[in-house]
Amino acid sequence: MRLIKLEGIQKRIGNRELFQGIDLTIHKGDKLGLIGPNGAGKSTLLKIISNVVDHDNGEIDFAKGVTVAYLPQSENFNESLSLLETVIESMDGMPLDYDEKRTKAIFALNKVNFIEDVETTKVSEISGGWKKRLSIACATATQADLVLLDEPTNHLDLDGILDLEQTLKAAEFGFIVVSHDRRFLHNITNKTMEINAIYPKGFFKQDLAYEDFMKKREEYFANEQSTRDSLKARLKVEQEWLQRGAKARTTKAEARIDAIHEMKDQLKDLNKRLSIKRNQERSFEFSATDRKTKRLITLTNITKKFANKTIINKFNMTVAPKTCLGLLGKNGAGKSTLQNIIAKRLAPDTGTVKYVDNLQVAIFDQGRKDLALTMTPRTLFCGSADSVIFQDRLVHINVWMKYLQLRHDQVDTPIKNLSGGEQARLNLGMIMLEKADVLLLDEPTNDLDIESLQMLEKALQTFPGAIILISHDRKLVESVSTKILGFVGSADLQDFADVQQWQNHMNGVTEKAETKKVEDKSEKEDYRNRNPKKISFKDKFEYENMEETIAKLEEELEQLHANPVDSSNFEEFQAYCDKMGEVQATLDAKYTRWSELEEIINN
C-alpha cells in the first residue's frame, strides 16, 4: 500500500536551491534513512512532508486516510503532565471518549516498554531517551501510518540509542528518519536516500540499508569517474578535429560541433559534482608534538568515590602513543570521571597518576564550555588578527573556515546563531590548533553530519599521539580504538573486543568464548603507525587555490563557447580552435594536478 508520493519537489531558501526535483514514494512497511551534509535540506524535507513548511514546486500525494506524525529534534512536551496525560492529549481531535483514549494511551506506552507508573510519573522526570519513546507512544496512539523522526539519537547516550533502536525495529508504522548514527541507520532501515549536490538531481536513493547503500554509492561514483575519463578522451579527439579546421557550415560538421558542446557541458557538470564530493571527503588533522616517549601517562591503583559510592576501584592503565582507548559505560558509570582524573580536573581518592614532563593534552568537552557564544569565529580563533597558526604556518581565517566546512561569510556571525553541527566543528577546530600528545574526547560526534564524522574518523586514525574517546557512536569507537574498555558493574572495568560484546555482557548474554582481554589490537594499530607523507607549504597553497584556478579556466572556456567566430574565415576560426585547445589542455592538466595533490593529502 502506497502511503505518500512526492514528485518534482523543489525548494529554495533565499538564493540557495535545496532541491532540484525530489521524487520519493513511501509504502507501508518502508523504513527510510535520510542522509546528507548539514544544510542539504533533510529537516526541511521532513517539514514539507508534515506540512510545517511549504514547497515551491512539485506535487505531494497522500493516500486516502493516511496520517503523519512529525517528531522534531527537540520535544515540546508539557513537563508538568504525566506520561499518560501526555499521550491522551496527543489524541485531541480523535472521535473517542476519554476511556477509549486512556485505553489506547496505556497500550501505546506499554508497547514502547514504559515500566514507570505512567499515571503519576511526570515528563520532567524522564531522560531524553525516554522522551523519544514517549514521542513514539504518542505517534502509536494517534495511529500514525508514517512517522518522521529528525535526529532522534542526537545527545542520547548509548543505552538510549539501543532502546530507541529496538523500539523502531519493532514498529508497525513506516518512518523516515534523519540521523548521523551510521550503525543505528543500518540496523533499523530498509531504504536509504541521500540529499547531496554531488548527484545530477540532488539526490540518490536505493532500497538498501545504510552500509549496503554506501557500497552502491561507491559503485555509482566509480562509474561517474569512468564516464568522466571517457568523456575527456572523446573530447580530446574532437578537439583535435576542431583544431585541424572543421568545415562548420556543413550539416554534419555543425551537428558534430553541437555534440562537442554537449559533451563539454556534461564534463563540466561531472567535474563540478566530483569536485564537491572531493571537498566533502577531506580529512581533519590534529596537530601532534614530536615526542618519542613510549609512556605518556601511568595510572596506578586509582580509586574514586562519590557519596560513599565507589566509581573507580584500584584501576591501572598505561597511556602510550599510537593507541586509542574507547570508553563504554552507562550514564554515571564513571567514563567522564576517569577522563577528568587524567585531565587533572579531578583528583583520585587514592592511587597515583604520573605524567611525562611537559605533557600536552587537548580536550574536547561535549558541553562546549570553551565556546563563548557571544563571540564570532574570527574572534574565537584570531582575536584581533585575521589568521590562525596551524602546524607552524599562518592560515587566513577564511581558509580555516573552509577547512572546517564552514562558509567564509559566517566568520563574523555570533557563535550562538550557528547550528549545533557548526559549533561542533568550531570546537574541533580549537583543539586542532593545539599541539598535543593526548586527545581527550567526550562525545565529539554530537551534531556532526556523516561527512564531518567521517573526516573526524580519518583524523583520529592518523593521529600519532594517544586518544581517550567517549562516544555513543559505535562505528566510530570500533573504527579508531586499539582497545575498548567497558564499565560492567560497580567500579568494574573490563576489556572487550567490540561494542556488541560489551552490550551482550551488560544484557547477560552468554558467549561461547570468555570476555576477550585485548592488550593491543595490532591490526587496528597498523593505521596509527603509518607516517603519512607531509605535503609541503607550496603544494598546500597550490591545492587550496586550485579550485579557484579551475573555475577561472572553465569560465574562460564558457566565454569562448559563447562567442564563436565565423568558420568561413579560416584563419580566425583556426586561432579560435587553437585557443580553445590551449585552455582545455591547461584545464585538463590542472585537474590531473588537483588529483595528485588530493592523493598526497589523503594519504
387: CATH: 3.40.50.300
pLDDT of residue 312: 92
Is residue 444 in a domain?
yes
pLDDT of residue 467: 96
Give CA separation, 1 vs 25, 62, 323, in Å: 11, 11, 51
One-letter identity of residue 159: D
Whole-structure pTM value: 0.76
Written as nine digits, the cell of 328 is 563504554
Single out the residue in 215, 248, 267 at which a domain terminates: 215
Residues in the chain with pLDDT values less than 70: 245-250, 367-370, 509-541, 561, 565-574, 576-578, 588, 591, 595, 599, 601-603
Q: For 177, how many CA atoms within 13 A lie in the half-sphere containing its CB?
A: 32
**Nearest by Cα to 341 from 324, 321, 326, 361:** 361
Reduced to 3 states (helix: H, G, I; strand: E, B; else coil), residue 74 is coil
pLDDT of residue 250: 67
pLDDT of residue 516: 42
Query: Can you tell me which residue has the cell 536551491?
Result: 17
Same domain, 508 and 445: yes
pLDDT per residue over 158-183, tens digit each? 887 888 888 888 888 899 999 999 99
Same domain, 559 and 583: yes
Question: Parallel, antiparallel, or unpaired for β 297-306 and 350-355?
Answer: antiparallel
Is residue 69 in a domain?
yes
Is residue 289 in a domain?
no
Same domain, 43 and 166: yes
pLDDT of residue 514: 41
Same domain, 83 and 131: yes
| Cβ-proximal residues to 337 (8 Å cutoff; 6+ apart), any chain | 304, 306, 311, 312, 346
Same domain, 385 and 251: no
Same domain, 507 and 358: yes
Same domain, 435 and 477: yes
In this structure, the number of other CB atoms found within 10 A of the CB of residue 240 comes to 11
Single out the residue in 473, 496, 529 at which a domain terminates: 529
- Beta-bridge mates of residue 561: none
Is residue 195 in a domain?
yes
CA distance 164 to 158: 10
Same domain, 510 and 539: no
**Phi-psi map region of 351: left, alpha, beta (phi>0 left; psi -120 to 50 alpha):** left
Is residue 290 in a domain?
no
CA distance 148 to 193: 14
- Beta-bridge mates of residue 203: 195
Written as nine digits, the cell of 71 is 517528531
Q: Where are the beta strands (DSSP E) in 54-99?
A: 57-62, 68-71
Sign of the Cα torsion 139, 140, 144, 150 reads positive
Is residue 287 in a domain?
no
pLDDT of residue 541: 67
Same domain, 211 and 80: yes
Is residue 334 in a domain?
yes
* CA 96 centroid distance within chain: 43
Same domain, 572 and 525: no
Contact 116, 83 (CB under 8 A): yes
pLDDT of residue 368: 63
Same domain, 377 and 267: no
Is residue 292 in a domain?
no
9-13 long-range contacts, CB within 8 A, separation 24+: 9/45, 9/48, 9/55, 9/57, 9/58, 9/59, 9/60, 10/55, 10/56, 10/57, 10/58, 11/41, 11/44, 11/45, 11/48, 11/55, 11/56, 12/56, 13/44
pLDDT of residue 246: 60
Same domain, 383 and 501: yes
Single out the residue in 186, 215, 244 at which a domain terminates: 215
pLDDT of residue 243: 76
Size (the chain), residues: 603
pLDDT of residue 519: 40
Percentage with pLDDT > 70 across the chain: 89
Count of domains in the chain?
A: 3
Domain that holds residue 239: 227-281+534-602
